Amino acid sequence: MQNILSFLTILALFSCQPDTSIDQKVDDIIKQMTTAEKVGQMTQIDHRFLDDHEDITDYAIGSLLSGGGSHPKENTHKAWVDLYNGYQEKALASRLGIPLIYGIDAVHGHNNVKGATIYPHNIGLGATGNPEIVRSVSHATSSEVAATGINWTFAPCIATPQDYRWGRTYEGFSSDPKLVLDLGVAAVEGYQSSTKKNPRKVIACAKHFIGDGNTIYGTGINNLVDRGNTVLTKESLKKTLIPVYQAAIDAGVETVMASYNSWNGVKCHGSKELLTDILKVEMGFDGFVISDWAGIDEIPGDYKSDIVTSINAGMDMVMVSGEGEPYKKFMALLTEAIQEELIPMSRIDDAVSRILRVKFRAGLFDDPLMDYDYLSEIGSDENRQIGRDAVRQSVVVLKNESILPLSNSNGKVRWSKIVVAGRGADNLGMQCGGWTIDWQGGQGDITDGTTILEGLRENAPLGIEVVSDPLANSVKGDLAIVVIGEDPYTEFFGDRDSLNLNEEDLQVIENAKAQGMKVVVLLISGRPMNIADHFDNWDAFAAIWLPGSEGEGVADVLFGNYNPTGRLSFPWPVHAEEGTSASSMLYNLGAGLSYE
């Protein structure tokens, strides 16, 4: 009851009632600000690319971020707090002492932090179809984020991917905007609700506005999908994707990230129609718009014109990052453009007001620094339990020839020896996927957690022996569980023109079959793949997506401790490359089996 009450209070806090006292404070600050200080507020830098920490004070920088893989030298929990406080103190030492807002890609847990709970990527959460678990996962994530002092996560991604060749398919909950809307709202509410344990707020970011999941193959980076062109009439945009963002805004999302892609040939980063006319005016968004990483650089023209076009279009803060163009160049050119009246001061004041308003709403002016009091939140048993629950709800059983659940029921021994095989069986990095510790993720023991093999071992019912045999060619059991799948990738690194299964993986399945074992195939993947030519041979098959650090959730389903409820949130084509527009589907949206 108390939880519900505090949740309602928080909802009320976030429900966009214009707060006149905040508006007054913002106006007072704006009046005191120099142009240079306004420019500083609009600048966001990845801390790895700071020339000098004093620049935060000297240029009155508004925001820092940790992009994928951007962490303190030693990736310890305490080091994160020290990193955050160190930078925040520099900001507080500036003339006006405006606190930083610090952003991070906590897109499936606080995933840059070693030892944090890693939750399933959104595709797995989509398969749960359950807003309550999405809310819990997001809330637990923000409690881990807040424990390190960080106050802003670049999540949720509310894309509705259609072409599975896109390397970011897994960042979307579903191809169906209706489901994305429900889960997106739950995520925003979960992220932005503070707990009694740690009263600090984390701000969410709906991304990437708009059409990131609808780009046409061949128009993106490397002539593939990511960052390509989305062709949709304004009417169909309004019917499909806009309602998802509107719902996130109505749920109180404080920031929106512009998308790398183009809409009908125009880069979203430079589109006044999208960022101002639609998002701010028609949809009533009163938070601020952040660019994507060097996203303005992709607008045609030189860097200065990119700055002018994007700010005039309605960009409020630019994720310069500093990796490509130096941030001092960005600030100099923005200042120049203001002096030359290429950007009106009213636009600058609007941008800065929006940024300050969000900083006030986040409570940053009251409580900018962090102590070590909440570090035990990171990777806590309670948060891992939420992860395990999310995993078991995300597993989609698609084929079951009377094999599952793997229990010896009614005193009848069906399986005394289960062989566990495949590259994904004992590979935490692979089951976590991209955006884990490093931008592109990694292989093996990259953080703390339970692999699928460990989960099976620890939860096997009495009388069932679980044996590891990676290639399934040396131990004969009654049945083999073969864990196959994709190696980790992030963004355009995961764009593919073929979604065939890995040959080595298929060989392991063959090995198990050759020994006369029944085979359960578990697929770790960020999208539907080409299984049609192979799966006749499999006795049971489940899609487990990118489950994250809590592998026990998979064992819960296989051993029947949990009757599977996961359902496809993306239809599964015969030819996966054809995505949602495929003429023949192997499994439709919503497919998935439970046990009798």
Interface residues for ligand BGC in 141-160 (CB under 6 A)?
154
Q: Could you give the angle at which helices 177-192 and 2-14 cross, rounded to 10 degrees? A: 100
Q: CB–CB of 356/56 below 8 Å?
A: no
Instruction: From 346, 276, 270, select the one nearest 305 (Cα to Cα).
Output: 270
Residue closest to ligand BGC when measured from CB atoms: 67
- Span from 67-75, 301-309, 325-333, 362-370 in contact with ligand BGC (CB under 6 A): 67-75
Known catalytic membership, residue 163? no
Provide the residue type at 6 as one letter: S
Q: Which of 189, 306, 469, 491 is catalytic?
A: 491
Taking CB under 6 A as the criterion, the residue among 68, 322, 387, 449 binding ligand BGC is 68
Q: Is 67 in the site for ligand BGC (CB under 6 A)?
A: yes
Q: CB–CB of 249/284 below 8 Å?
A: yes
Q: Which of 189, 292, 505, 539 is catalytic?
A: 292
Q: How far is the CB of 105 from ligand BGC (least distance, A)?
A: 5
Q: Is the dihedral of CA 36, 322, 119, 495 positive or negative?
A: positive
- Span from 54-62, 68-76, 353-361, 445-453 in contact with ligand BGC (CB under 6 A): 68-76
Q: Is 292 in the site for ligand BGC (CB under 6 A)?
A: yes
Query: How far is residue 441 from each of residues 20, 99, 491, 588, measured CA to CA in Å?
Result: 44, 31, 11, 30
Pick between residue 154 and residue 538 the one whose CB is nearest to ligand BGC: 154
Q: Is 105 in the site for ligand BGC (CB under 6 A)?
A: yes
Q: How far is the CB of 297 from ligand BGC (least distance, A)?
A: 11
Taking CB under 6 A as the criterion, the residue among 43, 57, 70, 162 binding ligand BGC is 70
Query: How far is residue 596 from each of residues 16, 124, 325, 460, measured CA to CA in Å?
Result: 47, 23, 59, 21
User: HSE-up of 182 (CA within 13 Å, CB side)?
Assistant: 15
Number of residues that bind ligand BGC (CB under 6 A): 12
Q: What binding mask, one character per residue, do residues 322-351 give for ligand BGC by CB under 6 A, x or -?
A: -x----------------------------
- Strands (E) across 193-271 are located at 205-209, 229-230, 255-258, 262-263, 266-267
Pick between residue 38 and residue 269 the one whose CB is nearest to ligand BGC: 269
Query: DSSP secondary structure string, 275-309?
Result: IIIIIIIIS---SEEE--TTGGGGSSS-HHHHHHH
Q: What binding mask, one character per residue, do residues 452-491 give for ligand BGC by CB under 6 A, x or -?
A: ---------------------------------------x
Interface residues for ligand BGC in 80-99 (CB under 6 A)?
none
Identify the residue whose tokens are 């703390």: 448
Known catalytic membership, residue 58? no
Q: CB–CB of 582/575 below 8 Å?
A: yes
Binding site for ligand BGC (CB under 6 A): 67-70, 105, 154, 207, 292-293, 323, 439, 491
Q: What residues act catalytically?
A: 292, 491
